[in-house]
Amino acid sequence: MKLPSSIVTMLLALSVSPLVQASDPLPGVGASTEGTSVSGLSSGAFMAVQYQVAYSASVSGAGIVAGGPYYCASNLLLTYAGICMGAIPFFPPNPNLMVAAAQLFASNGDIDPLINLQKSRVYVFSGTKDTVVYQSAVNATVDFFKGVGVPNMNLVYVNKVPSGHALLTPSFGNTCSANKAPFVSKCTVGKAAYDQPGAILSHIYGPLNPPAKMRTGRLITFNQREFADASTSMADDAYAYLPASCTQGISCKVHVAFHGCLQSEKVVGDDFYGKSSYNEWADSNNIIMLYPQVNDSQPLNPQGCWDWYGYTGPNYAYKSAPQMKAVQAMIERLTLSSSGPMAMH
């Protein structure tokens, strides 16, 4: 029997090209249901604010690097995103409006009760050379958190470092004042390299063991599509770092790190999730790192930003928003005790 030419062509292609395999599911590793925290840069910082506020009953703290206040861009009086980034001189965001919005959403049950934020620990950072999200916007973030009940003793604001728009790591990245990809930079503070992931995690959790000199865990790739479809702008794959201790019976905390615009794996590779110091701190302190991913697949999201301005819908800052629900489902998966095969990255 003679095979059709189309079948022959397909078989020849398969003989020289390996089949592309889907990534494995995110495994359950018995992570703790308590002590979850979040952080992020730029749009990831806006997302971290949203997630901390919306899920305050289960999130213990947040690290906000160059991010504006909750629900800023979709407020009826603040529809221009430039205002929320502090780019309009003499017209900074009004945190009182966002406090009122959060109070309304909480009263309607769209987000957790704001009283939970009285126990939250929040780190906020703004570089003096940042020309993407200006300090006036980040000042409003600090005032917002105070307005919704975060005590002054639980809130730290670092705003004197001459850095650009970037996550600051001790041994990788651009010069301190840079405002360019991969938006990871090195800065010296007090004659020492500033380790921002360490500063964030230490503020949230208290004194920690020093970061690991050599990682013992696994950096895995997992299928993100089961948590959110492509219409949400979330990518096919995402990443997680699992310290060895967290797969050997210890119930570890979960920290979610949200990348910024133009900072997903599609744009900068592993510069955000693999080359900062997050994983070293996580490794020696029983913390699982979760790195969800968004890309530029949606017309209203050409730079691969997290949704802080409503491109997935007007309820983007609610617990029920698609990106918010997806991240919550990932955290819940990690808390399950059953574990499947894990893809190495």
pLDDT score for 341: 39
> Max alpha carbon distance in the chain (Å)?
80
Which is it for strands 287-291 and 155-158: parallel, antiparallel or unpaired?
A: unpaired
What is the residue-wise DSSP string for 203-243? Answer: HHH-S-PPPPSS--SEEEEEE-TTTS-GGGTB-SEEEEEE-
**Distance between CA atoms of residues 345 and 341, nearest Å:** 13
Tally of CB atoms within 10 A around 119:
14
pLDDT score for 14: 31
pLDDT score for 79: 52
What size, in residues, is the chain?
Answer: 345
What is the three-class DSSP state of 285? Answer: coil
pLDDT score for 297: 87
pLDDT score for 17: 30
Which residues are catalytically annotated? 42, 130, 165
User: Under a CB-based contact definition with an 8 Å cutoff, are residues 38 and 256 in contact?
Assistant: yes
Per residue of the chain (345 residues), give pLDDT as tens: 333 443 333 333 333 333 334 589 999 999 999 999 999 999 999 999 999 999 999 999 999 999 999 999 864 444 568 889 998 888 889 999 999 999 999 999 999 999 999 999 999 999 999 999 999 999 999 999 999 999 999 999 999 999 999 999 999 999 999 999 999 999 999 889 999 999 999 999 999 999 999 999 999 999 999 999 999 999 999 999 999 999 999 999 999 999 999 999 999 999 999 999 999 999 999 999 999 999 998 888 999 999 999 999 889 999 999 999 999 999 999 999 864 434 333
Cβ neighbours of residue 345 under 8 Å, at least 6 residues apart?
219, 220, 221, 239, 270
Query: DSSP character for 106?
Result: H
